[in-house]
Amino acid sequence: MSMVHPMARTTPRTRAEIHESQACLAEVAQTYNISRGTARKWRNRKTGTGAERLRG
Residue environment code for 7-21, b if the CB has 16+ CB neighbours within 10 A, otherwise e:
eeebebebbbbbbeb
Question: CA-CA distance, 7 to 9, in Å (whole number)?
Answer: 6
- Coil, helix or strand at residue 20: helix
Question: CA-CA distance, 15 to 18, in Å (whole number)?
Answer: 5
pTM for this entry: 0.70
> Quick one: pLDDT at residue 3?
81
Mutual angle of helices 36-44 and 25-32, in 10-degree steps: 110
Does 2 score more than 80 pLDDT? no
Q: What is the mean pLDDT of residues 8-19?
A: 90
| pLDDT-above-70 percentage for the chain | 79
The listed range with the strongest mean pLDDT (4-8, 9-13, 44-48, 51-55) is: 9-13
